[in-house]
Structure 1
Amino acid sequence: MTELASRSRRRGLKTWSAFGDLGRRPSDYEIVTHHMNHTTRPGEQPLEMGPHVRGNVWLRTHRDGMRLVVPDWDAFRDPDAVTYSTYVTAQDDQETYVEGLLERFDEAGHDEGLSDSALGLLRRVLAPSRFLAHGLQMLSSYVQQLAPSSYVGNCATFQTADQLRRVQLAAYRTTQLRLTRGTEMTEPGERWYWENDPAWQPIRKAVERALLEFDWDRAFVVTNLVTKPLTDLITVERLGAQAEAVGAPLDALILQNLYLDCRRSRRWTFALVSFLVAADPGNRAVLQEHLDSFGELARGVLDAAGRLLEVSGGQPPQAIVDTVRSAWCDMLAPHGLTAPRG
């Protein structure tokens, strides 16, 4: 053995030693994600400030003091391994597709030919949905801000960006409809529906109540296991089906595209649930307890689904409720979780 080779063997640590004994070169996803959360510093204050600084008190109380038990948060991986680069590339392709739809249907005079039923559905549900998306954006941002690792935080970051995309598309379609249908879309206005329509109020209540959850584990549950999956099913998946049924194919196609974002969010959410249960079986009981505590909010959202999406020629209200409830239960069941009773 040469002297150079001997020195090389004695060096010990390799370039990727921060990952532990992987036995392989880290992926590009891992390289740009690992240990990027500057507030997770074992044995030290979260922030490089005094222990009584408000930021440190908040992080110790609402993140580090949560009930979930996880020996190594950095062991979690996003099943889609999304990075900034891959996210931007994928969403650029999605936006190119949607822009093509908007241009093609605009040239065909799509909005001028919408029936009263279709226009009413878009006015009452699609246009106000941007307020819901704003709320989900804030909830996702909080899940990201207090995330216990950069692997979790990055997932929530891209989820937040998805909500901004939804806001933009809802606002764009609302403006298009106003330009072609005038007062039919401007009165009483999407904000009025969000704040006053009885069918919207349980959903608005769920978002506003979720914004008051500060402990990370509860914020994650109310956002990613209750409010977001239920409202995604109602205002994206089911709304798209209703739009197609009443002759609004452009909006049905846009919503089908947005639902791809919802499904990606669901994948990392339930991958994290599986990770939590594998890390400590007691975490399942914690998650279920949190789920049960939001039962009234969830029931309100479910009950509102049929009234919100009711339209002549579409799926009947009770069938909508049953479809959404069944889909939600199917998400939870593989992980040993159950929807709150009632």
Structure 2
Amino acid sequence: MSTPPTRSGTRDFPKPEFTDAEAGALEFPSSTSRSYNYFTPARMRASMYEDVTVDVQPDPERHLLQGWIYAFADGQAGYPKDWTELRSSDWHTFLDPNGEWEQTIYRNNASAVRQVQNNLANAKAANAYGAWAPGWKEFVARHVGAWMHAEHGLGMHLFIAIQRSAPTNMINNAMSVNAAHKLRFAQDLALYNLDLTENIDGFDGAVHREVWQDDEIWQPVRENVERLTAIVDWAEALFATNVVFESLVGELFRSELVMQIAARNGDYTTPTIMGVGENDHTRDSGYTRALFTMLVADETHGAHNIETLEAWTERWLPVSLAAARHLQPLWSQPAERVIRFEDSLDRAKDRLRGVLADLRLSEPKELTS
């Protein structure tokens, strides 16, 4: 028989060696708590938005000890802060006041789509299009149809382009939702156009493309949109679009024109479609104001940021004002005219003045003329 094996000597195990390079060696806001977290929540308990958004994007200044693990061909690594002229003592301070995360994106956009679909179904069942005033179907085909190109252009070529450029996941996430809003609203208008083409005799569902490309009324708006999409600085693109362009052109057309005069021309359907887009803009304007308010209030960089934002206002205000003023003939085209263009533009200017005042920016002289 063979002899069974026996143990020899003292058993030994490799011992862990800590180098203080591990994340566990760091002090976090909840290091002494049984409920562990990497950040200090805005309230007593972290919201779902905070849990799935804050610090998801790594940062060597916060918890990523080995530095960026990838770089671009020119040597820039990660999320360079010099992709914008603005500065912040802590970019991670920003939290989206809308609390947008994956579930809310799907839920809110699904709700908007259902609202549009229900409105269209009800309008068709009630033969609501038959009550439209003479000439209104042409106005909707040409000009409401043309607006889908502005929404699609900004969503596809501006917000999708900048939604990866900011230094934190919280900012990029908010801009991604903004892109989704723009693209979905452009789709809403396109589907509305198709629905009207099927249900209204003589409705020209293709003329909007010609209007956007060639109509003199729309060319300054088109130029404004295209110039916005060419901005390299992500924060400038956001400011020039959501603060300047949307105040003077977007809200002017959607709210001050279409939503004001449609009902007087027998149309109760188009305002509900536009209202969905206005609700999107209200949410997007909320996060935009919160971000720039944080930046102008920065104790270290606030003065620099104010100076930069004022320079951007001077650069883009004349462009959007020119676009707005070229839309003036649209106010005289409907059969029922209930408002003056000058009054609508004044209200648009007042909205922009309010935003600039909230951001501690001086009022440009163009807004007083």
| Smaller-chain TM-score bracket | 0.7 to 0.9
Q: 1:33-182 counterparts in 2 under 5 A?
A: 33-38=53-58, 40-42=59-61, 48-50=69-71, 53-54=73-74, 56=76, 60=80, 63-137=81-155, 138-182=157-201
CA distances 1:101-156 after superposition (whole Å, capped 9, x unpaired): 11111011122332223212212211111111111202122231212211111111
Q: Is the 8 A contact 1:37 1:149 kept in 2?
A: yes
Q: 1:211-250 counterparts in 2 under 5 A?
A: 211-238=229-256, 239-250=258-269
Choose from 295, 300, 305 the match for 2:327.
Answer: 305
Equivalent residue pairs, number = 327
Alignment correspondent of 1:320 = 344
Structure 1 stretches of 5 or more lacking a match? 1-10
TM-score under structure 1 length normalisation:
0.86
Alignment correspondent of 2:52 = 32
Q: Distance in 2 between matches of 1:272 and 1:164?
A: 22
| SS of equivalent residue, structure 1 residue 249 | coil
Q: Distance in 2 between matches of 1:161 and 1:176?
A: 22
Q: Distance in 1 between matches of 2:358 and 2:311?
A: 17
Decide which moves more: 262-271 or 322-331. 322-331
TM-score under structure 2 length normalisation:
0.80
Alignment correspondent of 1:5 = none
Tell me which protein shows more helix as a share of its residues. 1
Decide which moves more: 87-96 or 12-21. 12-21
Deviation, structure 1 residue 331? 2.6
Q: Distance in 1 between matches of 2:254 and 2:190?
A: 15
Structure 2 stretches of 5 or more lacking a match? 1-30
Q: Distance in 2 between matches of 1:325 and 1:198?
A: 23
Deviation, structure 1 residue 18? 1.9
Taking a change above 3 Å as real, the CA distance of residues 287 and 246 of structure 1, as seen in their structure-2 partners, is same
Percentage of pairs with the same residue: 22
Deviation, structure 1 residue 339? 5.3
| SS of equivalent residue, structure 1 residue 19 | coil
Taking a change above 3 Å as real, the CA distance of residues 65 and 95 of structure 1, as seen in their structure-2 partners, is closer
Q: Distance in 1 between matches of 2:237 and 2:66?
A: 22
| SS of equivalent residue, structure 1 residue 185 | coil
Partner AA of 1:156 in structure 2: M
Q: Distance in 1 between matches of 2:297 and 2:94?
A: 11
Decide which moves more: 313-322 or 164-173. 313-322
Q: Distance in 2 between matches of 1:205 and 1:44?
A: 45
Deviation, structure 1 residue 199? 1.4
Decide which moves more: 243-252 or 86-95. 86-95
Q: Is the 8 A contact 2:220 2:322 kept in 1?
A: yes
Taking a change above 3 Å as real, the CA distance of residues 37 and 236 of structure 1, as seen in their structure-2 partners, is farther
Q: Distance in 2 between matches of 1:173 and 1:128?
A: 12
Q: Which has the larger Rg?
A: 2
| SS of equivalent residue, structure 1 residue 70 | coil
Q: Distance in 1 between matches of 2:255 and 2:42?
A: 40
Taking a change above 3 Å as real, the CA distance of residues 264 and 130 of structure 1, as seen in their structure-2 partners, is same
Deviation, structure 1 residue 20? 5.0
Alignment correspondent of 1:4 = none
